Amino acid sequence: MKHLLLSTLAGTLLAASGLALAPGQPGARVDYRREFLPAATTLVAHVDVVAFNASTFGEMFASSRADLNIQELEDLEQDLGFDPFQVLRSITVYGVGSAPEPTTVIVMATKEIDDALYKLQEDEKFHLVVEEGIEIFEYEGTHGYVQKDGENRVIVLAESLEETASAARVVRGEEPNLRDVEGKSMQVAPVAGSFLFVAASEGVPGMEDFQPTSQVFGLAQGLQLDLGEAGGSIFAHLGISTGDADSARDVVDLVQALITITRLTGLGEVPEINELLYALRVSARGGTVSVDFEYPVEELAEVLEDAVGGAGGQHDDDMDHDEDHDGPSDY
């Protein structure tokens, strides 16, 4: 996933420089767009950059971003030629079918991305092909399609020409989309304030082998995750759909056991982390399990800062202790 997003945004996205922008619906709202997702979508992850920037947490990140010195972010900005937090509106990754692999990306961006795109229009690695009347570009093994959406841009990215063409037809309104399919569990959408949203209707691929949560996800038939901010608090909601009430109770027991085990480990010995663990709430209703977390943003920042500082201080104390005993004697 990291390769797909970073290399795609840093290389393929900008390589669309010579592609003519197809007309879209003017004035369309930038949001989680179910009409851009195929009807067969069973796994989706959506990052709302606009919502993150508008949150207190996002403002705190922006004000301390220079001090954080995140090299990957600096490299990405240099490769892109623009600040992704200002130009990108959202990133959506999805998969289809009973064993979905999230291989298709939809990027929503402002029109300010055009300058960066045009600068690379003569890149020799860029190739334009026409697939069933749709202009698709190819750049270093990744394919893409760009379309206007009012004042914004929709960029579809996938590895194969066929996947890209199929995704482009959905965006163009030429193939069935998720919004028009009634009665599907994937009709869920991000809650207000969410800047990270994940939904799956066929379970989570690969999680069955991930310890120690494999038992939880082994019982899951679908899930929804929201992470965001509302009313000055960071919130997280995980909804897990199981087959029946008994399975839901089993999942509740497993989740509570995982929380207890974490409290008993080294992390649980850190007072600040232990405080966050106690903020978790686990409940079940019918065949659905809910895991919820809510904490004031500023208090959470202080808790995390204290936790990191405490861990660092403990590390320094250990180093000093080692030096006192292992260093040369003053006598």
Q: Where are the domains of the chain?
A: 1-190, 203-323
What pLDDT is stored for residue 172 in this prediction? 96
What pLDDT is stored for residue 10 in this prediction? 37
Most confident of 77-86, 122-131, 278-287: 278-287
Q: Which residues of 137-150 are buried (b: 16+ CB within 10 A; e: fewer)?
A: bbbeebbbbbbbbe
Supply the mean pLDDT for the chain. 78
Q: What are phi and psi of 93, to 5 degrees?
A: -120, 135
Please state whether 104 falls in left (phi above 0), alpha (psi between -120 and 50) or beta: beta
CA-CA distance, 35 to 41, in Å (whole number)? 11
pLDDT of residue 168 exceeding 80, the answer is yes
The whole-number average pLDDT for the span 73-83 is: 80
How far is it between the farthest Cα atoms of the chain?
86
The whole-number average pLDDT for the span 276-290 is: 91
Q: Is the model more confident about 12 or about 94?
A: 94
CA-CA distance, 152 to 31, in Å (whole number)? 12
The whole-number average pLDDT for the span 199-228 is: 70
Strand (E) or helix (H) holding 167: helix 161-171
CA-CA distance, 105 to 91, in Å (whole number)? 7
Q: What is the pLDDT of residues 218-271, one digit of tens each?
A: 667 788 999 999 988 999 999 988 888 998 998 899 889 888 888 887 665 677
Cβ partners under 8 Å of residue 250, min gap 6: 219, 242
What pLDDT is stored for residue 212 in this prediction? 53
Q: What is the pLDDT of residues 87-138, one digit of tens each?
A: 999 999 999 887 677 889 999 999 998 877 777 677 888 888 999 899 999 8
Residue with tokens 């003519």: 20
